[in-house]
């Protein structure tokens, strides 16, 4: 015994010395050699078990467990059965006796070693392995220890290391499935007991079925304001007794620990079991109850300084519970689970989802911060709940929607509120993705069912409200402070700025709804566009004409007036992009019914472009040049870009009006608008947009005799003189290709080759190619070209431009 005590003292001294800051690396290597030598001794595990029971040194404990781990992994098969029994029994007794005394990492290591033994010996040589764990997990004083062992066993047995034979892996998986019902009962029992323990503070009134509130009139859901959900949902929110997830009291530390461990075990279990055979409605409801812990911010302020650390910690604990529970729910939903009690499961999922959405979107205006509920909820919880909604809509909405008893419109109304109460842009984007999935489903349903009109009318109010609120959210007029936070300079991997990405994602949803409601969405867009365009046109009366060499001046000087103008110009640019996306729904099969709308829009765009070309607002002196100049450039460029989008419609329009080839034809007006911006002193962004308008016109519309149009002839002359070299190379290439299109592409609506005027156009194209290739030919003809690096470098740009 004295020898064991001496050895333990020596080991403690070595471990303390090893982890001391004063110990040199050389000495540490010597200690490592001593420890490794001990580890390879035949009976070292016996000494380690003795040391483990008689030391309080954490370093020694961890070393002893590491030695035992080496024995289990490397020598277990060769150990005599009595030695194995002694080792595992000693480890188990030490763990159950000391699990509350030793540090958590020591307890976890002990659990891992016992599970490693079970992985090798259970059930043949260690038959009571899981029975012991079940007993620990069911006893109140050892439940946390048992749950830790369950989680560790599932992790190790379902993803075993490569050193196990395939047959053993398959055997473990089969045996683990046999344990699932027992473990689920244990977990459900703990979770239900915790809820029961704290249920005295929660109303016992059962929640009504969501169908109790079903109302066929969607005006009550989406009327007056998109954020106003009408009397139906207002009644739900005001009645606290109708929601089983309201105001759960904070759990005591013991219950909280037990709940977190149970939910972690459940999440691990759900990641690999076949859910359909095991998940019941009652278990799902229990997990939803715990998910609700994360969506009640009102008892505790976010401000720790005001409420104290204890309350802040309580909120953190509730949030952790909610996050763990949402992880379990998402595992269930991601598996497309169809449990045995199918109908009851569907009803329960819908009810629980409904009630959580109620909690997350309820009016919090009486709160001192006057913020919506979501703003005070943990970001991770909100993210997980949005993930859940995505899984819910993707995998299960079809089942709900096809059942007339489910109040789908009420659910969409809550999803609507949840979307537009998101406190972050990323959260908003994720919600738009949920709507995107819903719209895909609705489009598929409409295409494959006979009652098209009835189904579309059912959802029409929802879709219009969604677009209205999206347009409200993306307008600076209503949302300037939030939108100004979006960066509009740095590009992401997709070459979008933060603002462009935001706008694009908003318009994608609007465009998708336009496919279903083209007329209604167009008029929503056009009304906002026309309102801001009118302000843009009215600027003309505030222009002071230029004096001598000074530029014209805009007589809008007040700070508020400049701010309103800035917002209007930004919104005009956004609506121009929205109009560009509407073009496809005015063409093809929609051409005849939407012709007047398209003509009206195109006329306004041409008027706006001509107006912009005439006044060149980017040159005008303003009271806020750093802001307004960029706005004017953006509007000008966007007008041209929207005209480019309308070239798609114009192609079909020209076929319908083939006799209109006068100098005032719409095609030539557009060509003149574009060419007017391909010159010096025009902002690069505007010129680039004009070049793309021109190439779209010449490639798709292909107007007759455009090469004889005076502005085109003038542009060809400038190219022949190489006077467009001031443009960026990419813009040059687009312009050159446009002129090539004019000369080599067949005109639309001209079927006879004789009428195509190929000889004249061919000769002009030859002149164009000669002019563009002249710098390259000239450089190559220089006798020193192949020796002089400077000449070769100078020729590179010519080669690049000409070859493209």
Phi (first) and psi of residue 554, to 5 degrees: -95, 120
What is the predicted pLDDT for the residue at 803?
53
Helix (H, G, I), strand (E, B) or coil at 544: strand
Mean pLDDT of 733-749: 95
pLDDT in tens, 515-552: 999 999 999 999 999 999 999 999 999 999 888 778 89
Beta bridge partners of 554: 543
Phi (first) and psi of residue 553, to 5 degrees: -125, 140
What is the predicted pLDDT for the residue at 310?
58
What is the predicted pLDDT for the residue at 743?
97
pLDDT in tens, 374-403: 888 999 999 999 999 999 999 888 887 877
What is the predicted pLDDT for the residue at 530?
98
Name the band, by pLDDT with cuts 50, 70 and 90, for residue 224: very low
Name the band, by pLDDT with cuts 50, 70 and 90, for residue 226: very low
Total length of the chain: 804
Instruction: Give the range with max mean pLDDT: 2-6, 132-136, 342-346.
Output: 132-136
DSSP single-letter state for residue 78:
G
Helix (H, G, I), strand (E, B) or coil at 654: helix
What is the predicted pLDDT for the residue at 366?
53
Q: Is 668 exposed, middle or buried (0-12, 13-18, 19+ CB in 10 A)?
A: buried
What's the alpha-carbon Rg for the chain, to the nearest Å?
Answer: 37
Phi (first) and psi of residue 709, to 5 degrees: -70, 130
Q: Give the number of C-alpha atoms closer than 13 A to the C-alpha of residue 607, restricted to the C-beta side.
A: 11
Name the band, by pLDDT with cuts 50, 70 and 90, for residue 370: low
Nearest to 478, CA basis, from 568, 590, 417: 568
Mean pLDDT of 630-656: 96
pLDDT in tens, 301-345: 444 445 555 556 666 788 899 999 999 999 988 877 666 566 667
Mean pLDDT of 76-94: 95
pLDDT of 702 strictly over 50: yes
What is the predicted pLDDT for the residue at 298?
46
Q: Rounded to whole angstroms, what are the CA distances from 491 to 487, 500, 501, 638?
A: 9, 9, 10, 19
**Rounded distance between C-alpha atoms, residue 198 and residue 290, angstroms:** 12
Tokens of 441: 């489903």
- As a whole number, the mean pLDDT across the chain is 87
What is the predicted pLDDT for the residue at 675?
98
How many other C-beta atoms are found inside a 10 Å radius of the C-beta of residue 362?
23
Chain centroid to CA 735: 38
**Rounded distance between C-alpha atoms, residue 293 and residue 314, angstroms:** 11
Tokens of 608: 């706006």
Mean pLDDT of 73-88: 94
Per-residue HEC secondary structure of 181-227 comes to: HHHHHHHHHHHHHHHHHCHHHCCCCCCCCHHHHCCCCHHHCCCCCCC
Cβ(747)–Cβ(704) below 8 Å = yes
pLDDT in tens, 417-450: 999 999 999 999 999 999 999 999 999 999 998 8
Helix (H, G, I), strand (E, B) or coil at 684: helix
What is the predicted pLDDT for the residue at 367?
54
Q: What angle do CA 388, 392, 393 make, to 5 degrees?
A: 120
Handedness of CA 436, 441, 442, 448 (dihedral sign): positive
What is the predicted pLDDT for the residue at 353?
86
Name the band, by pLDDT with cuts 50, 70 and 90, for residue 2: low
Cβ(339)–Cβ(276) below 8 Å = yes
pLDDT of 63 strictly over 50: yes
Nearest to 244, CA basis, from 203, 302, 191: 203
**Rounded distance between C-alpha atoms, residue 436 and residue 512, angstroms:** 8
Chain centroid to CA 239: 33
């Amino acid at each position: 015994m004295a020898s064991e005590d001496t050895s333990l003292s020596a080991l403690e001294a070595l471990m303390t010395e090893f982890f001391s800051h004063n110990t040199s690396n050389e000495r540490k290597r010597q200690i490592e050699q001593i420890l490794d030598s001990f580890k390879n001794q035949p009976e070292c595990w016996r000494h380690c078990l003795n040391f483990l029971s008689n030391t309080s040194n954490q370093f020694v404990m961890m070393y002893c467990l590491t030695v035992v781990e080496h024995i289990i992994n490397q020598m277990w098969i060769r150990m005599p059965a009595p030695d194995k029994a002694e080792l595992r029994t000693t480890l188990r007794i030490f763990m159950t006796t000391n699990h509350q005394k030793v540090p958590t990492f020591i307890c976890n290591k002990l659990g891992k070693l016992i599970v490693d033994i079970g992985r090798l010996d259970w059930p043949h040589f260690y038959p009571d392995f899981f029975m012991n764990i079940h007993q620990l997990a069911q006893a109140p004083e050892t439940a946390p220890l048992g749950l830790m062992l369950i989680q560790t066993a599932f992790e190790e047995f379902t993803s075993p290391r490569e050193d196990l034979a395939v047959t053993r892996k398959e055997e473990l998986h089969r045996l683990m499935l046999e344990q699932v019902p027992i473990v689920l009962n244990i977990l459900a029992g703990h979770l239900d007991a915790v809820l029961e323990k704290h249920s005295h503070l929660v109303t016992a009134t059962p929640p009504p079925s969501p169908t109790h509130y079903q109302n066929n009139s969607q005006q009550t859901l989406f009327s007056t304001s998109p954020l106003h959900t009408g009397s139906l949902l207002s009644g739900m929110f005001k009645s606290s007794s109708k929601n089983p997830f309201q105001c759960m009291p904070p759990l005591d530390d013991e219950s909280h620990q037990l709940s977190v461990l149970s939910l972690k075990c459940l999440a691990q279990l759900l990641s690999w079991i076949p859910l359909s055979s095991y998940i019941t409605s009652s278990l799902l409801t229990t997990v939803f109850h715990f998910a609700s812990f994360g969506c009640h911010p009102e008892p505790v302020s976010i401000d720790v300084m005001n409420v104290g650390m204890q309350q802040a910690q309580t909120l953190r604990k509730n949030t952790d519970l909610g996050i763990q529970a949402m992880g379990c729910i998402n595992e269930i939903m991601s598996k497309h689970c169809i449990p045995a009690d199918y109908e009851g499961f569907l009803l329960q999922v819908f009810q629980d989802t409904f009630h959580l959405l109620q909690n997350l979107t309820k009016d919090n205006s009486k709160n001192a911060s006057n913020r919506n509920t979501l703003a005070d909820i943990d970001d991770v919880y909100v993210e997980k709940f949005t993930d859940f909604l995505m899984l819910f809509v993707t995998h299960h909405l079809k089942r709900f929607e096809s059942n007339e008893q489910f109040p789908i419109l009420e659910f969409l109304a809550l999803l609507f509120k949840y979307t537009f109460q998101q406190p972050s842009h990323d959260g908003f984007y994720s919600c738009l993705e949920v709507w995107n999935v819903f719209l895909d489903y609705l489009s598929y349903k409409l295409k494959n069912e006979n009652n098209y009109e009835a189904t579309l009318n059912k959802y029409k109010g929802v879709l219009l409200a969604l677009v209205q609120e999206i347009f409200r959210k993306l307008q600076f007029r209503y949302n300037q402070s939030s939108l100004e936070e979006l960066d509009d300079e740095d590009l992401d991997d997709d070459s979008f700025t933060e603002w462009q990405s935001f706008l694009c994602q908003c318009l994608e949803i609007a465009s998708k709804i336009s496919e279903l409601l083209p007329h209604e969405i167009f008029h929503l867009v056009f009304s906002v566009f026309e309102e801001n365009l009118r302000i843009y046109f009215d600027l003309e009366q505030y222009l002071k004409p230029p004096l001598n060499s000074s530029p014209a001046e805009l007589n809008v000087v007040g700070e508020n007036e400049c701010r309103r103008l800035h917002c209007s110009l930004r919104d005009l640019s956004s609506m121009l992009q929205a109009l560009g996306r509407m073009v496809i729904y005015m063409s093809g099969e929609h051409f005849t019914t939407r012709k007047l709308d398209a003509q009206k829009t195109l006329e306004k765009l041409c008027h706006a472009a001509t107006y912009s070309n005439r006044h060149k607002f980017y040159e005008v002196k303003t009271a806020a040049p750093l802001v307004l100049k960029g706005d004017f450039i953006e509007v000008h460029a966007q007008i041209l870009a929207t005209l480019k989008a309308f070239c798609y419609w114009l192609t079909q329009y020209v076929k319908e009006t083939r006799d209109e080839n006068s100098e005032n034809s719409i095609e030539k007006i557009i060509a003149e608008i574009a060419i007017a911006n391909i010159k010096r002193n025009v902002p690069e962004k505007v010129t680039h947009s004009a070049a793309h308008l021109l190439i779209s016109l010449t490639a798709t519309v292909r107007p007759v005799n455009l090469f004889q149009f005076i502005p085109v002839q003038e542009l060809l002359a400038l190219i022949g003189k190489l006077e467009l070299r001031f443009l960026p190379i990419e813009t040059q290439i687009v312009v050159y290709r446009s002129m090539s299109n004019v000369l080599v592409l067949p005109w639309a609506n001209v079927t006879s080759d004789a009428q195509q005027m190929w000889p004249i156009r061919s000769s002009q194209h030859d002149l164009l190619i000669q002019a563009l290739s002249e710098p390259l030919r000239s450089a190559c003809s220089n006798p020193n070209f192949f020796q002089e690096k400077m000449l070769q470098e100078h020729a590179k740009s010519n080669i690049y431009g000409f070859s493209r």
